[in-house]
Amino acid sequence: MAKALARHILVKTEAEAEQIKQRLAKGEDFAVLAKKHSLCPSGKRGGDLGEVRPGQMVRVIDQVIFKKPVRTIHGPVKSQFGYHLVQVFYRE
């Protein structure tokens, strides 16, 4: 069974997600921004989702985690919860 280690930042608007993505591109720390801005309970852990398996996350996030390149920040990705920035560390 596949598994991956991922983290994310969840915000209400696409514009906010874009602003945070730009800050990340300039070298700001993902965990610090997650703690400050993420609406998800995982924000308290720097956005850490831990190890996830296919089907554990909403479908659009699942697809990013298991189909997109690792070590890249993907998004904004829209779900019913808001807009996500997703980073995958590894996938097996």
In terms of CATH architecture, what is 4-91?
A: Roll (3.10)
Contacts of 57 (CB under 8 A, 6+ apart): 49, 65
Check whether 1 has a pLDDT greater than 90.
no
**pTM given for the model:** 0.95
Nearest by Cα to 45 from 81, 80, 5, 14: 5
pLDDT in tens, 6-53: 999 999 999 999 999 999 999 999 999 999 999 999 999 999 999 999
C-beta of residue 90 within 8 angstroms of C-beta of residue 5: yes
C-beta of residue 46 within 8 angstroms of C-beta of residue 31: yes
Q: Where are the domains of the chain?
A: 4-91
